[in-house]
Structure 1
Amino acid sequence: MTMTTTTTRRKSNTFYVILIAGAAALGGFLFGFDTAVINGAVAALAQAYNANSVLTGLAVSLALLGSAIGAFYAGKIADRYGRVKAMIIASVLFSISAIGSGIAFTIWDFIVWRILGGLAVGAASVIAPAYIAECSPSNLRGRLGSLQQLAIVVGIFIALLCDYFIAVSAGSASSPFLFGIAAWRWMFWTEFPPAVLYGMAALMIPESPRYLVAQGREPEAANVLTKILGGNVFAKIEEIRQTVLQEREPKFSDLLSRNGGLLRIVWIGIGLSVFQQLVGINVIFYYSSVLWRAVGFSEQNSLTITVITGAVNIITTLIAIAFVDKFGRKPLLILGSIGMTVTLGTMAYMFGNAATDAAGNPTLTGNAGIIALVAANLYVFCFGFSWGPVVWVLLGEMFNNQIRAAALSVAAAIQWVANFAVSTTFPPILQYFGLGAAYGLYTTAAAISLFFVLFFIKETKGMELEEM
């Protein structure tokens, strides 16, 4: 009888943990949605505001710098006011940005609205993994941490799908849609409902037990931990109390070693963040329709391929969730690095040796086009089960309690700067050196990432956060 009761309680605890982790991961959904929704609107935007390529590029990429700022300060806000309040602030910023981007009168105020959304994306990229890691039992933490990446890729997929249906229904992104308002404006407004839902979900979930202990609110922490773990949680509270410094707020100076440089673990977190971007994954998501049109696919077929790639990304993230707590973090990263090196190398070779048309664009005919298409989707597959989700899992759990929020902020901010660098350098590399050279650079980064994992990454599977 007691055995059955324990099992039932454990199941209800697990269900509760999944619910609160899912609510926090809505921030990841909006992060994916917000960064991808502009994909279908880029050309229409340029046309509507009569903007040159530089201004259009800034309209796309400045939001990423907003994300870097949001990520950098989110840790401080989350430590001072709590994880939940930080989520509510992000939800408000997402909502304002969605409405503002759709009603923008000039390219300049459009950029301001997008930067506001970027601040929210940056904040969500820090708060969700920290909150999920802090509220998950160690045996489920890898899978629940992967929810962040699953939410991101689902957000990307849904945004691309919304863009696709709005553009197809209206005839093009520039054409009038509902109430005679341009289709591209509706693309941004589709973000408003999930942004409001995120805020409502944040109001319903408990505060992180580790934050509560740090604030001296131990009875509340005990309530939350009882719902998460069940049984007697006082030993766990004592363990958290030992590792959380209650005397003062975490400072960025905590990240420095005795000789004044950053701690080795912070450098490793930065390395993970940078390599996740340097392999060029976001080129596939920000410029994929441009990319496939460059090799001869029609606009409609390019959008369709983009949506299929988004679906592949979701499936592989589900595979990662199934295996991250069984195989561990390091083996998945190693497999991913090898796979990405081979597939990116194949694409670099195919595009580097492709014939060019009158405009100088590479044209892949017959088998070459099929090989490039298969390699691109296999590359997304290799990223999707490894560097996509596993980096977020590791960033959420590899730092000890004392420095987690501050270190995550630094690592995530650097990730957005790297994303900005890769996204803004791709068009000129494409123009002056060609697709082969671009993929050659990403291949090199993937190859280096393999050695980075072998030499610097330690396995964290099954360890308690207090042991880090």
Structure 2
Amino acid sequence: MSDRTNLPLRPEDGERHPARAVGISIAAAVGGFLFGFDTAVINGAVDAVESNFSLTSGVTGLVVAIALIGSAVGAWFAGSLADRWGRPKVMLAGAVLFVVSSIGSAIAFAAWDLAIWRFIGGLGIGIASVIGPTYISEIAPASLRGRLASLQQMAIVLGIFVALLSDKALASGDGGALQELWFGLEAWRWMFLVGVIPSVIYGVLALGIPESPRYLVARGKDAAAAKVLRRVLGETPAEIDTRIVDIRKSMEREDKASFADLRGSRLGLHPIVWVGILLAIFQQFVGINVIFYYSTSLWKSVGFDDSFAFTASVISSIVNVVVTVIAILLVDNLGRRKLLLIGSIGMFVTLGIMAIGFAQATLGPPDADGVAQPVLEGFWGTATLIAANGFIVFFGASWGPVMWVLLGEMFPNRIRAKAMALATAANWLANFVVTVSFPPLRDLSLGLTYGLYALFALLSFFFVLAKIPETKGKELEDMTMDVVVDRKAGAGR
């Protein structure tokens, strides 16, 4: 890869060019698109995979969920790789892994090798989920950092939407996902192959963006960092000199960075690291992915047939995109903390309504798989359906994007990549726990299941109230090991 930081300066570089930071941030956020695409693409293929390989439901669930384990592993190592290779090179590695996964999944001949390809794809997605927010937070001006970091979530929901549309288009024939299309490959295999396109785009974009100035300063390349700051942010020489000094001071407060720097006296980790981990876990434990992974039973329970399931999923996806746009517009004005608090209350209320609604459900006749589906009629059917979409609204406008914003900016410069990696790995593991636990919980009681998610939404409110101060407008160099856990740091919130 060429050294893009040694490009000559142009006369206009002294001007303010926030558009450059926006463009670079959009390129970095494409990794989030892969995240969302992989989340949703398997939904269109899973039934065909199960039929094609004659799998039990347990094995099918493992093939689906193993990508989440791969994502956790990829996220764990992403921080170390980013500190060693630099941010764009690690993005490129993530893109290559997902290309390999997409092609391998498309030509899989058994469940075991499909699981391997899914795991490899998870590695790439986990890497992208860490590097995107980290890089954006390090390259963006403080005044726009919240909005630009929110692009990660926007890319995720767009990835989900595009995957749903491509799955539907490929499976539109009479044979559905099992029908044979081009070159003798079934539709479900082409669903995976579509993922090659955004992966290649992500890799090409990674080759064209500059290195993070924080990474360059950590490597002693102050001149290169200054060129990036001047070209991307258009800062004056005096501003650049001051910023370089501030970055270097934040890097030199302790010895060389390592995972040992995350340690503290409380259960082995520093409090700020625990705050990041809990923030990531709460985002998943409210059950958001249940809505996207297992929405069919909800739509059936309120009287819709199978043909409506796709339409309902697309509607939910569109709602998610719209409210994410709203969050991007608000995060740098209203602030991170207020959005999280509003979201927690909204999710608690809507999940509570869903829990009560499903508690009123009766069991209908067994479906094709011999499973009796819950049936909601009258007021509670309508209320539950509205609450489900209301839940998506409150999540998409708050916890969906804001968690990524905070994880990208709340940690000090010296430990940011590694702390972000640990917190993101926790997010993926929480995703895995929720995904695999929902079916047995659903069989036990849907009312109880959504009641648990409502409880976590309520707990998330008190967690934010106690531990998360407002960070909007702060420079990354102002983030210290105590900024989040110190109550005084939240003054003026």
Shorter-chain TM band: over 0.9
**Equivalent residue, structure 1, for 2:486:** none
- The amino acid across from 1:14 in the alignment is P
Q: 1:239 to 1:415 in 2, by over 3 A?
A: same
2:386 partner SS: helix
Listed as ranges, the matches of 1:427-438 within 5 Å are 427-431=439-443, 433-438=444-449
1:337 aligns with 2:344: yes
- Once residues 170 and 254 of structure 1 are traced to their aligned partners in structure 2, the CA distance between those partners, rounded to angstroms, is 57
Q: 1:370 to 1:337 in 2, by over 3 A?
A: same
- Once residues 353 and 55 of structure 2 are traced to their aligned partners in structure 1, the CA distance between those partners, rounded to angstroms, is 36
1:217 aligns with 2:224: no
Q: How far is 1:307 from its partner?
A: 0.7
**Equivalent residue, structure 1, for 2:396:** 384
Q: 1:89 to 1:42 in 2, by over 3 A?
A: same
- Once residues 75 and 456 of structure 2 are traced to their aligned partners in structure 1, the CA distance between those partners, rounded to angstroms, is 24
Q: Is the Cα–Cα contact under 8 Å of residues 65 and 115 in structure 1 kept in the other structure?
A: yes
**Equivalent residue, structure 2, for 1:420:** 432
**Equivalent residue, structure 1, for 2:15:** 9
Q: How far is 1:296 from its partner?
A: 4.1
Q: Is the Cα–Cα contact under 8 Å of residues 90 and 131 in structure 2 kept in the other structure?
A: yes
Selected match of 1:459 from 470, 477, 480: 470
Selected match of 2:423 from 411, 422, 437: 411
Listed as ranges, the matches of 1:190-339 within 5 Å are 190-230=194-234, 231-232=236-237, 233-245=240-252, 249-257=256-264, 261-293=268-300, 295-339=302-346
- Once residues 227 and 85 of structure 1 are traced to their aligned partners in structure 2, the CA distance between those partners, rounded to angstroms, is 20
Deviations 1:132-190 (A, max 9, x none): 00001100000001001111111111111111221224541122233442111111111
1:403 partner SS: helix
Selected match of 1:348 from 349, 352, 355: 355
- Once residues 318 and 266 of structure 2 are traced to their aligned partners in structure 1, the CA distance between those partners, rounded to angstroms, is 47
Q: 1:34 to 1:257 in 2, by over 3 A?
A: same
Selected match of 1:446 from 440, 449, 457: 457
TM-score normalised by length of structure 1: 0.95
Q: Give unmatched runs, 5+ long, in structure 1.
A: none
- The amino acid across from 2:15 in the alignment is R
1:308 partner SS: helix
Selected match of 1:110 from 83, 107, 114: 114
Q: 1:343 to 1:7 in 2, by over 3 A?
A: farther
- The amino acid across from 1:442 in the alignment is Y
**Equivalent residue, structure 2, for 1:400:** 412
Q: Is the Cα–Cα contact under 8 Å of residues 153 and 401 in structure 2 kept in the other structure?
A: yes
- Once residues 126 and 7 of structure 1 are traced to their aligned partners in structure 2, the CA distance between those partners, rounded to angstroms, is 30
CA RMSD of aligned residues (A): 1.7
- Once residues 156 and 28 of structure 2 are traced to their aligned partners in structure 1, the CA distance between those partners, rounded to angstroms, is 12
Q: Is the Cα–Cα contact under 8 Å of residues 79 and 249 in structure 1 kept in the other structure?
A: no
- The amino acid across from 1:33 in the alignment is F
**Equivalent residue, structure 1, for 2:487:** none
- Once residues 185 and 290 of structure 1 are traced to their aligned partners in structure 2, the CA distance between those partners, rounded to angstroms, is 25
- Once residues 387 and 209 of structure 1 are traced to their aligned partners in structure 2, the CA distance between those partners, rounded to angstroms, is 28
- Once residues 245 and 36 of structure 1 are traced to their aligned partners in structure 2, the CA distance between those partners, rounded to angstroms, is 43
2:150 partner SS: helix
**Equivalent residue, structure 1, for 2:188:** 184
Q: How far is 1:299 from its partner?
A: 2.1
- Once residues 109 and 150 of structure 1 are traced to their aligned partners in structure 2, the CA distance between those partners, rounded to angstroms, is 32
Q: Is the Cα–Cα contact under 8 Å of residues 24 and 131 in structure 1 kept in the other structure?
A: yes
2:264 partner SS: coil
**Equivalent residue, structure 1, for 2:159:** 155
- Once residues 8 and 15 of structure 1 are traced to their aligned partners in structure 2, the CA distance between those partners, rounded to angstroms, is 14
TM-score normalised by length of structure 2: 0.91
Q: 1:454 to 1:246 in 2, by over 3 A?
A: closer
- Once residues 467 and 417 of structure 1 are traced to their aligned partners in structure 2, the CA distance between those partners, rounded to angstroms, is 30
Deviations 1:219-277 (A, max 9, x none): 11111000122212111111111111499642111011257721111111011001000
Selected match of 1:121 from 119, 125, 129: 125
Q: Is the Cα–Cα contact under 8 Å of residues 78 and 421 in structure 2 kept in the other structure?
A: yes
- Once residues 12 and 112 of structure 2 are traced to their aligned partners in structure 1, the CA distance between those partners, rounded to angstroms, is 59
- The amino acid across from 1:445 in the alignment is F
**Equivalent residue, structure 1, for 2:3:** none
- Once residues 97 and 291 of structure 1 are traced to their aligned partners in structure 2, the CA distance between those partners, rounded to angstroms, is 31
Identical amino acids, percent of aligned pairs: 53
Q: Is the Cα–Cα contact under 8 Å of residues 331 and 402 in structure 2 kept in the other structure?
A: yes
2:166 partner SS: helix
- Once residues 166 and 434 of structure 1 are traced to their aligned partners in structure 2, the CA distance between those partners, rounded to angstroms, is 35
Q: Is the Cα–Cα contact under 8 Å of residues 302 and 382 in structure 2 kept in the other structure?
A: no
- Once residues 263 and 450 of structure 1 are traced to their aligned partners in structure 2, the CA distance between those partners, rounded to angstroms, is 22
- The amino acid across from 1:126 in the alignment is V
Selected match of 2:79 from 66, 75, 82: 75
Determine which structure has the larger helix proportion and give its number.
1
Q: 1:249 to 1:462 in 2, by over 3 A?
A: same
Q: Is the Cα–Cα contact under 8 Å of residues 350 and 391 in structure 2 kept in the other structure?
A: yes
Q: 1:390 to 1:310 in 2, by over 3 A?
A: same
